Chain A
Amino acid sequence: MARSAAPEAISRDADILVLGRHGYETAVKGKNGFVCVVERDRTKTAFDKSELPVPEHGSMSKQQNFGPKYGNADPHLMFWFPQKDHMNWGADFPGSPVDVHQYSPQPITEFVISASKWSDGTAAHTNVH
C-alpha cells in the first residue's frame, strides 16, 4: 500500500516504513532516497528525503483515503516550504491548479498540485476549474 503512493518506477527502490506498536519501522531498505509510508492522518506518501530547496512528495495511490470529507481525493504532488518565506504560487486563486495549506502549529506552507493519473497509470477524474 505504501508503494502505491508513487509510480512503481519510483517506489520500487524506495525505503518502505510500516507502522508497528512503537512507531514506524523500516520494512524494506531502499536505494533511491525516496521513502514510502502509509500515514494515518494523511494516508500514503512517498517522501523525498533529500535536502532540497523544494522538498516534494507524492500521494498518487488509488486506495488512499482521507476520511469521510475528502475520500480518496485526487492523486497529487505536495511541496513544502518554511512559512516564513511567504511563497506566492498563485495558490487557491480561481482557475489555479495549485492549492495551499498552512500547517499549524508547524511553520510550514504546503502546496498541492493534482496529478492527472494514479500511480498505476490509470486516469484520475480531476475537476476542471
Chain B
Amino acid sequence: MARRTFKIIGLASSVLAVAVGASSQMRAQSQTPYPSMAALNQYLMPDRNAEIALARSAAPDSISHDAKVLVLGPHGYETAVEGKNGFVCVVERGWMGPFDGELSGNFWNPKIRGPICFNPPAARSILPMTYKRTEMVLGGQSKAQIIDGIKTFIKQELPPLEPGAMSYMMSKEQYLTDDGRHNWMAHLMFYTPLMDGAVWGADLPKSPVMLNPQFSGAPEPIDVFMVPAGWWSDGTADPGSQNDRLGSFCAGYRAGRVGASASTGPKSTVCEHGSA
C-alpha cells in the first residue's frame, strides 16, 4: 500500500479528521472555527495541580506516579515534578497536530488537551519536537515560520529516533476533538522512521493498528502507529476500543458532526465510498 494520499482517522496527539482531496482540504481550512492562534491564556491551565494531574492521567498510576511532569507556562513547558523512572508526562496542545490538511483544523483549537506519557526513548527523541513547536508557537510565529523552523531543527538539533520509542494516551479526560466523544480512544503510540503503513498492516479492515498522520514527514520524519489500549488509565473499560472506529467515525461524518457538514462540507473519500 502506498503512503496514503488521504487519511482516515488520525490522532495528532491527537485530533480526529476525515479523508479529503486537496481542493476540499483548502476549503476545510477556510471553514475551521480556529483559523489562527487564540489568546495565550486560553491555552494555559490556570490550575497547575490540575495540569499535573491531567498529564499523569495519560498512563496508569504505576507508571505516571514516578514520571517527570511538565506544565505549560507562558514561555514554554516547565518541569513541575521531577521523575525517577525515565517517563515524561505532559499535556500537549492542538499545535502538535498536522500543519496542513483537514487535520489542521484543530491546530489552533484552544480546547485541545492531549495528555501523553513518553517512555524514556521517546522522551529523548520525540519530546524535543513538542518543545520546539511549542517554543515557536509561544514566540508568536506563523505556521509557515514554524514549519521552516522545524526543518532547520531537524537538520541541526533533532536527536536521532531511538528504537522502542512509544507513548501512552490513556486519559479518560483527554480532549482531542470538538466532535462527539471528546476523549476518542485510549491508545498507545509507537514511533518509527517514515515507512509504508502497510508494513504494520495499518488502517486495513479489522486491523487494530492505525497510522496517525501527526508527523508523517510534514515536516518531522517520523511515523506514528497507534494501537487501542482497551481501557483507560484508571482501569475502567474504554468502549471506544471495541467499536468500529471507522464505522463510528463515518456515522458522525454522515450526521454532520465530524469535519464540515456532510451536505455542504468536504466529502470523506472513505465514508462516501468505503464500507464503513
A54 to B62 CA separation, bound complex (whole angstroms): 25
Q: Check A85/B205 contact, CB under 8 A, given A32-B198, A117-B242.
A: no
Selecting from A15-23, A37-45, A65-73, A95-103, the interface stretch reads A95-103
B23 interfacial by beta-carbon distance below 8 Å: no
Q: Is the CB of B230 within 8 A of A48?
A: no
Q: Is the CB of B206 within 8 A of A113?
A: no
Q: Is the CB of A93 within 8 A of B62?
A: yes
A110 interfacial by beta-carbon distance below 8 Å: no
Minimum CB–CB distance for A77 against chain B, Å = 6
Q: Is the CB of A95 within 8 A of B237?
A: no
Could you tell me the dominant secondary structure of chain B's interface residues?
loop
Residue among A9, A120, A126, A129 making CB contact with B204, cutoff 8 Å:
A9
A34 to B196 CA separation, bound complex (whole angstroms): 13
Residue among A10, A48, A89 making CB contact with B164, cutoff 8 Å:
A89
Number of interface residues of A (CB under 8 A): 43
A7 to B201 CA separation, bound complex (whole angstroms): 9
Closest to B199 in A: A50
Q: Check A85/B206 contact, CB under 8 A, given A10-B201, A50-B199, A93-B63.
A: no
Q: Is the CB of A119 within 8 A of B206?
A: yes
Residue among A58, A79, A90 making CB contact with B63, cutoff 8 Å:
A90
- Render A76-97 as a binary contact track against B, CB cut-off 8 A, 1 for contact: 0101010001011110011111
Q: Is the CB of B192 within 8 A of A88?
A: no
- Chain B residues with a Cβ under 8 A of chain A: 59-63, 85-87, 117, 119-121, 161, 163-164, 166, 168, 170, 188, 190, 192-193, 195, 198-201, 204-209, 227-231, 233-237, 241-242
- Chain A residues with a Cβ under 8 A of chain B: 6-10, 32-34, 46, 48, 50, 52-54, 56, 58, 60, 77, 79, 81, 85, 87-90, 93-98, 113-117, 119-121, 123, 126, 128-129
